[in-house]
Structure 1
């Protein structure tokens, strides 16, 4: 019996590095928002709701998985960003706001790209501090601001 898309995704997640799972979740959220924008344009209310609900679950999962003790200021700032996104997702769903959905995609893409770079560097065995610096550079270059305060 062939695997369904969900089973294939779960299988891939089970075998992936944690950083690869983050990239996969960001990709799913971005794709879900793009599908919601299309549904808004097509006036497909149920599809829009379903897509936004999936994105909401993904962002809530990202938020709940933050380790504030180990992640410090970065985790705290990501938490604030995830809360901002969650609040906007409710507004997108209520008002069928395709423009705001596109803005959230613009927020998620640099984060996804940064985690993609971290994942690649981890696979190559690079130093964690260098990866963290690279991630922050990517996020800041996209206009988002995450800061780290040295202990």
Structure 2
């Protein structure tokens, strides 16, 4: 049991260190990665019939979408793009909620796919920015 606790503490320090040293773009990418990890976990728990763990994982994904990705939008500077992303994040959160309520893997997969598409765009933006610099 102490080994698990130690490993968990070590992992948290690693994540905290990565967050502290990340630039804003990297933080957004980390949020996408965290949401995808939570959705993957939820998928496994859904398949295993572990409703409690599934609910916790989906709640974590919803929290990342609502309080991480959506909260990071700058509507003043982002204009129409920020508005569209805000609506898309709201839709994704609703998909996740419905997936949880109905044990619907298809809605979980749709949310994961949308997040993957947006996250890929963020990653590509990083590469384009680096090439232009």
CA contact (8 A) 1:19 1:118 kept: no
Match of 2:118 in 1: 111
Cα distance in 2 for residues equivalent to 1:118 and 1:66: 16
- State the 1:67 CA deviation: 0.6
Match of 2:3 in 1: none
Classify the secondary structure of the residue corresponding to 1:47. helix
| Long gaps (5+) in structure 1 | 128-151
**Larger proportion of helix:** 2
Cα distance in 1 for residues equivalent to 2:52 and 2:127: 37
Q: How big is each residue's C-alpha offset from its partner over 1:5-59, in whole Å with a ceiling of 9 and x where there is no partner? A: 2231121011112111111111111121111111111001111011101101100
- State the 1:99 CA deviation: 1.2
Question: Is 1:16–2:26 an aligned residue pair?
Answer: no
Alpha-carbon RMSD: 1.7
Of 25, 40, 50, the residue aligned with 1:34 is 40
Of 54, 73, 87, the residue aligned with 1:80 is 87
Taking structure 1 as the reference length, the TM-score comes to 0.77
Match of 1:49 in 2: 55
Of 121, 128, 132, the residue aligned with 1:126 is 132
Taking structure 2 as the reference length, the TM-score comes to 0.86
Give runs of ≥4 in structure 1 deviating > 6 Å: none
| Long gaps (5+) in structure 2 | 1-5
Of 79, 99, 105, the residue aligned with 1:98 is 105
